[in-house]
Amino acid sequence: MSEFETTLPSTRQVQTLIVEKTEVELKLVTDDLLVGKIRWQDDYCICLNDHYDQPTIVWRQAIVYLKPKP
């Protein structure tokens, strides 16, 4: 992952959410709201696992916002 800018606050926050296995809400341009835990991120995608541990690979271009569950 050579060019992946890991020093940016947003990237680091996502990294923290991965490590701490925080449940998040991911709002998408289609108005879908996915709920789950982030497993990995790269330049183009964020992978979210749902309650059944099934992965969904979300394209970053389609993300509107990310909200850690309080």
Using H for helix, E for strand and C for coil, what is the string for the chain? CCCCCCCCHHHHHHHHHHHCCCEEEEEECCCCEEEEEEEEECCCEEEEECCCCCEEEEEHHHEEEEEECC
Q: Is 5 in the site for a copy of itself (CB under 8 A)?
A: yes
CB of 67 to a copy of itself, least distance (A): 5
Q: Which of 20, 22, 35, 42 binds a copy of itself (CB under 8 A)?
A: 42
Q: Is 19 in the site for a copy of itself (CB under 8 A)?
A: no
Q: Is 55 in the site for a copy of itself (CB under 8 A)?
A: yes
CB of 46 to a copy of itself, least distance (A): 9
